[in-house]
Amino acid sequence: MSFRPLSRRQFARLALAFAGLCSAASSIAAPADANSCPPQPTPPSRELMLKAQQQATDRGFLWRIGRNGRDSYLYGTIHAGRPEWFALGPRAEASLSRTGVLALEIDVTDPAVQSALRGATQGPPRALPAELMQSLRSAWAAECLPAADLDRGAAEFHVSQLAVAQAQRLGLFPLYGAESVLLVRSLGGQRPVVGLETAQTQLSAILARDDDEAASMVREALAELQRPMANQGLERLARAWEARDLKDIEAYADWCDCLNTPTEREAYARLVDGRNPGLADAIERLHVDVSVFAAVGALHMVGPQGLPRLLQGKGFKVTRVY
């Protein structure tokens, strides 16, 4: 297999898309001690992709879903990865090649999606209690993020950038995540890319409904990031995805130390299981006309409301590939 190099325009689209999706900050503010900042990824060059391909192996979770004489695929992803993961394994590559469209949760290359994401970061700021805002500013500064970015946009959206910075300190980068790999392969191979959700649907699951809920979400997110188990949980999630350990992903709620309060549990249910029926409906609609490679976060694959179970209920024959 050979790589078809992306054009400058395609690389620019990819970089812009992931900057908008994964980062609430427009730039990194260099402090006096720049060594304390999270490491930043380099663009995925041809050399990086070739090196990753030399050690490519199947990671994540893959199902074949068939109905009415057509096969599609369901792939459980991780949204941040390591440089050496920037290649599809042989079975994932073969499955992608059999499909006519790549379906992601949202199509981050769509200008309308990028505009909606910018709106979440650049709109009017939330009214948070002064002491909470100071805690957020302190945590923000510790990750070398520009202070001015907190003067606009939804604070509960911004706080997710602190989790991104935490992942980067562990060597996990959104730009090297599974979705990015799939986008590179699809853009290079002229495969259409579509979103299973609108940006508004995803943002409605992420954003608070009012300032009080936003304050609770920010307070609990900051507390979660300070827990001793936070880094261990992220590392464990990455290891389970790399090792294709679906049983450990299924037990995520038992070991993540992230569902300790009513607000955390409600937010998780809204962000994960609450979106699954809509995702399943979108996959079903696409499958009527074309074989689909649907790539969705691995946590959407587990439990009675997981996508494999929902699609099985819609009459699909669902077979785990790995």
Q: What is the pLDDT of residue 103?
A: 98
pLDDT reported for residue 231: 86
Question: Alpha-carbon distance 8 to 159, whole Å?
Answer: 32
**Residue-level pLDDT at 189:** 87
Give residue 133's pLDDT.
96
Cα separation, 194 vs 109, whole angstroms: 9
Q: How many CB atoms lie within 10 A of CB 237?
A: 21
Torsion from C-alpha of 174, 175, 179, 183, nearest 10 degrees: 160
Question: Which residues have CB under 8 Å from 33's CB, separation 6+?
Answer: none
Q: Contact 36/258 with Cβ under 8 angstroms? A: no
Q: State residue 24's pLDDT score.
A: 35
d(CA 114, CA 195): 12
Consecutive H or E run containing 312? helix 307-313
Query: pLDDT 10s digit of each residue in the chain, 322 long?
Result: 434 444 434 443 444 344 444 443 334 444 546 678 999 998 888 899 899 999 999 999 999 999 999 999 999 999 999 999 999 999 999 999 999 999 999 998 899 999 988 888 888 999 999 999 999 999 999 999 999 999 999 999 899 899 999 999 999 999 999 999 999 999 888 899 999 999 999 898 889 999 999 999 999 999 988 887 788 999 999 999 999 999 999 999 999 988 888 888 988 999 999 999 999 999 999 999 999 999 999 999 999 999 999 999 999 999 999 9
**How remote is the C-alpha of 86 from its chain's centroid?**
15
125: left (phi over 0), alpha (psi -120 to 50) or beta: beta
Which residue matches tokens 């699609």? Answer: 311
The residue type found at 109 is T
Which pLDDT score, from 0 to 100, does residue 13 have? 42
Instruction: Supply φ then ψ for residue 10, to 5 degrees.
Output: -65, -40
173-209 b/e (C-beta count within 10 Å ≥ 16 → b) = bbbbbbbbbbbbbbbeeebebbbbbbbebbbeeebbe
Phi-psi region of 153 (alpha: psi -120 to 50; beta: other; left: phi over 0): left
- Provide the token pair at 321: 């590939």
Q: Tell me, what's the pLDDT at 31?
A: 52
Q: What is the pLDDT of residue 34?
A: 64
Q: How far apart are CA 108 and CA 102, in angstroms?
A: 12
pLDDT of residue 4: 42
